[in-house]
Structure 1
Amino acid sequence: MSTVITSAAATATATRKPIGARAIAAITIGSGLEFYDFSVYSFFATLIGRQFFPVESTLGQLLLSLATFGVGFGMRPIGGIVLGAYADRVGRKPAMMLTLWLMALGSLLFAIAPTYAQIGLVAPVLIVLARLVQGFAMGGEVGASTAMLMEYADDKNRGFYGSWQLFSQGLSFMFGALVALGLSSTLSAESLESWGWRLPFVLGMLVIPVGLYIRRHLDETAEQEPPDEGATSGLRLIFRDYRKVLLTGVLLVIGSTASSYIVLDYMTNYSVSVLHLPMTMGTTAACLGALVQISLSIWAGRLSDRIGRRRTIALGCIPMLLLIYPAFMLMNRFPTLGTLLGVSMVTTLFLVLITVPTLVLVTEMFPRKIRASGLSIIYCLGVSVFGGFAQFFATGLIGLTGNNNAPALYVMTCLCLTLAGLAMVRETAGRPLE
């Protein structure tokens, strides 16, 4: 029976037609919405802190706001387990439809939540609840959507297909940055703080019906096997037979996610709270970083198909490890827009070389029947702590050490863990997916 199912899956993969731009957009729109929502939250974290957290210290308000940003990541492992198993059992498409509805609910709460001055302690509770709902949704989104992309590809172009996931995230991040830049440039400080920061979440909600519509026309890629009462459940199989794969995958993800959230998301808050620059400068640098990610993601995916995932990741990790601390020193020594733009462009180049092949490599480490679950668990465990709380850790390290370059030390530690994971995994490029 196993041989028949494997042969059928291989035949289906071989005969499946390459997907077009519309199908790629349908698959990746959920992850794109994640980065859009997270980027606009990051850009307005200082304002949200003042609106919802009654702490006298500005640093304390920012820390609580960033902790709320991170707490949603705590739900990702649960969402990854629940929705990843659902995607492996029922199908990628139903799981991805469900995650969009949950993302809409989280965005709605952000758009309508009253402030602390209006309803007291219930206000921060609503904000935390919104982040928990979105975190649960995104826990399953990445596994299901990335597995679907990989299952449309063949052995020679999985890096190319997987790169579209990061392309969509960069595009959404840039859109979020442009929205934040537009609002901060056109609205008064009073209007932006009172109601303007809610508009990006309303825009995010408007995209969701479009995503639901185009996802309905996707073809399912998960091969549904006949039920077998004696078969080991997917989650039990992962934690019994794939423990080393889980550890390796988490180590690989740690460096890419910490670098991503510091280099892209944190830069706006850092430029305002540490470098004391206008918000427009930090947002402009974030826009450039997103543009670099958009421009190079497909190239990085093709490069990993050509020279291998491990070599491509190393080409990003090692220079980032060596240059990130000098980059922060340079920003603090010369806090200008030109410095911000240069640092953003160079660090994002190395970031793309890390993130794109890492996502593809981790997906390739699991067989089809547990692929969405395995990827979701690895992604969520790595991202929940080291990515979700990256900005919180970075800000806290500055406060504890008095060293404005401390965020670089955090990134360097995470990159060292990723290099350890890279030494534990074999090359997967060009090999059969199963």
Structure 2
Amino acid sequence: MSEHSPPDARAPLSRRDLRTLLLASLGGALEFYDFIIFVFFAAAISHLFFPPGMPDWLQQLQTFGIFAAGYLARPLGGLVMAHFGDKLGRKRMFTFSIFLMAVPTLLIGLTPTYATLGYAAPILLLIFRMMQGAAIGGEGPGAWVFVSEHVPPGRVGLAVGMLTGGLTGGILLGSLMATAINTALAPAEVAAWGWRLAFLVGGVFGFLAMYLRRFLHETPVFEAMRRRAALTQGLPIRQVLRGHRRGVAVSMLVTWMLTAAIVVVILMTPTLLQRLHGFTPAETLRGNLMATLALTVSAMLCGALLDRFGSVKVGVTGALALIAATYALYLGAAARPELLVPLYALAGATIGVITVVPYVMIHAFPPPIRFSGVSFAYNLAYALFGGLTPLLVSALVAADPLGPAHYVGAVSLVGIATLVANGRALPPEADMPAAPVGAAR
């Protein structure tokens, strides 16, 4: 702990702190469920929302294009919400983001298909998906900022770790829901109407999460700035780009490591293993579920370790473990197929290192522009690297079956170099203002 840290920097979390973390994490899980559920039912949606005479490959291409549109809308949505989050308060945008997610999710579940609306059906689907993307662009950065400013400076790692675990838990919820629907219903029923259940339930989840967030309070850090009239003047993003370019660069580079781990190991690997080594979808789904569960738990553990050992030690160790586990997964799946599930779970556990990303970003920007800085860097990096990763990995696989592992390894080394160049062995708690004396927590 830094010698400049306030005396209560590592104070135990109060009951109110714990309630805030639990409610924020639960809301994040429900919102990420809403965003990710689309991909599990892309095949059914492609046949229902496009002309019936269109080739299957073109239907799939357009459906995944609509899915990708959600990612393209992330930076704009995140930037707008971050602007008002720095100006008006974290809680308002934290609540609005989940409303913006719940409404289109519910509407997707209710929208008539091409047979009823014609070309208006895919257009509405695109609009709703972009609304979801705008919402998720504000949710992740806003949630990290919100929880980090509610806890003592020496507990920021635990706070962002619990929140990250909640966000990845949303992916797990999506997998479980898709599995349940496909198990309970016949394929024809899923294609006809069963897929809608996932979105209708997601919409209800969203409104439930919005209701729960009514019980949260504005962060002590923002309240202190408001009392001191210390809120940023002008456009926060202008100040970010003018005076904190190094923070933006560092944040984007560590986010690249996050996108490599999530997009390649969690999202792409099931399909890649089916194609490369002949695994069935059921086998890779079991492995993926265990990996996502392990990731959810390890993200929280990694957060606690960050408070104790700092971003350099935890980040470097975790990134090296991620490289080793990813190679073990791809080599082991080829040589020992029966070990797929434990190897995949091990890889998922090492992805918990991504908790270092919000930890570094929170400390990279001062409170008056923190929301804008984190949101701009994170969403821009995710749109750029997240969009390019599938293309690069697909090209690498064509040349080498270990291409996905090579990519994760190379990007992880970039993350290690960034952490070592930027960080210190001890967490920079002096950069994180404590809750003001006498503030309610």
Q: Do 1:30 and 1:99's aligned partners in 2 also have CA atoms closer than 8 Å?
A: no
Pairing 1:151-300 to 2, within 5 Å after superposition: 151-221=149-219, 222-223=222-223, 224=226, 231-271=233-273, 277-300=279-302
Unmatched 5+ residue regions in structure 2? 1-5, 434-441
Query: Residue 305 of structure 2 aligns with which residue?
Result: 303
Q: Measure, in 2, the Cα distance between the counterparts of 1:273 and 1:64.
A: 22
Map of 1:23 onto structure 2: 20
> How far apart in 2 are the matches of 1:230 and 1:35?
30
Distance 1:234 1:252, change over 3 A: same
If the length of structure 2 is used for normalisation, what is the TM-score? Answer: 0.84
Indicate how the Cα distance of structure 1 residues 15 and 411 shifts in structure 2: closer, same or farther if over 3 A, else same. Answer: closer
Partner of 1:359: 358
Give structure 1 stretches of 5+ with no counterpart. 1-8
Q: Distance in 2 between matches of 1:124 and 1:391?
A: 24
Partner Cα distance (1:409, 1:182) in 2: 34
Q: Distance in 2 between matches of 1:217 and 1:397?
A: 48
Q: 1:112 to 1:413 in 2, by over 3 A?
A: farther
Partner of 1:3: none
Counterpart in 2 of 1:331? 333
* 1:109–1:130 contact (8 Å) kept in structure 2: yes
Deviation, 1:333, is: 5.4
The separation in 2 between residues aligned to 1:368 and 1:408, in whole angstroms, is: 37
What's the TM-score, normalizing by structure 1? Answer: 0.86
How far apart, CA to CA, are the structure 2 residues paired with 1:53 and 1:10? Answer: 61
1:380-391 counterparts in 2 under 5 A? Answer: 380-387=379-386, 390-391=389-390
Q: Secondary structure at the match of 1:136?
A: helix
Residue 77 of structure 2 corresponds to which residue in structure 1? 79
**Rounded Cα–Cα distance in structure 2 between residues aligned with 1:349 and 1:229:** 39
1:45 maps to amino acid: A
CA contact (8 A) 1:70 1:384 kept: no
2:231–2:368 Cα contact (<8 Å) kept: no
SS of 1:219's partner is coil
RMSD: 3.1
Q: Summarize deviations over 1:328-353 as a string: whole Å, max 9, x none.
A: 3443555x5x443123212112110x
User: What is the aligned counterpart of 1:146 among 137, 140, 144?
Assistant: 144
> Which stretch shows the higher mean deviation, 311-320 or 268-277?
268-277
Q: 2:302 & 2:391 partners in 1: Cα distance?
A: 29
Structure 2 CA distance for partners of 1:35 and 1:365, relative to 1, 3 Å = same
Instruction: After superposition, give the CA deviation of every residue in 1:92-129 in whole Å (9 maximum; x if it has no partner).
Output: 11101111111012202321234445544433322222
Which residue identity does 1:342 align to in structure 2? P
Alignment of 1:105-120 (within 5 A): 105-120=103-118
| Equivalent residue number for residue 6 of structure 1 | none
More displaced 10-residue stretch of structure 1: 234-243 or 112-121: 112-121
Cα distance, 1:164–1:351 mapped onto 2, change above 3 Å: same
Partner of 2:121: 123
The match for 2:39 among 32, 39, 42 is: 42
CA distance in 2, matches of 1:169, 1:423: 27
> In the alignment, is the contact (CA less than 8 A) between 2:333 and 2:339 conserved in 1?
yes
Q: Spell out, residue by residue over 1:219-238, the C-alpha distance to the aligned partner (whole angstroms, 9 max, x if none).
A: 11122256689945322110
Give the drift of 1:256: 1.1
Question: Aligned equivalents of 2:15 and 2:153: distance in 1?
Answer: 13
Contact 2:255 / 2:378 at 8 angstroms: preserved in 1?
yes
93-102 or 385-394: bigger deviation: 385-394
The one-letter amino acid of 1:246's match is V
In 2, the alpha carbon distance for the partners of 1:281 and 1:119 equals 38
Instruction: Name the SS for the 2:73 alignment partner.
Output: helix
Alignment deviations for residues 213-258 of structure 1 (CA, whole Å, 9 cap, x no partner): 2211211112225668994532211010001110110001111122
SS of the counterpart of 1:152? coil
Give the share of equivalent positions with the same residue, in percent: 25
Compared CA separation, residues 430 and 155, structure 1 to 2 (3 A): farther
8 Å contact 2:101–2:131 — kept in the other structure? yes
Task: Name the CA distance, whole Å, in 2 between partners of 1:228 and 1:170.
Answer: 34
- CA 81–423 in structure 1, closer or farther in 2 if over 3 Å, else same: same
- Measure the CA separation in 2 of the matches of 1:130 and 1:382: 23
Aligned length: 420
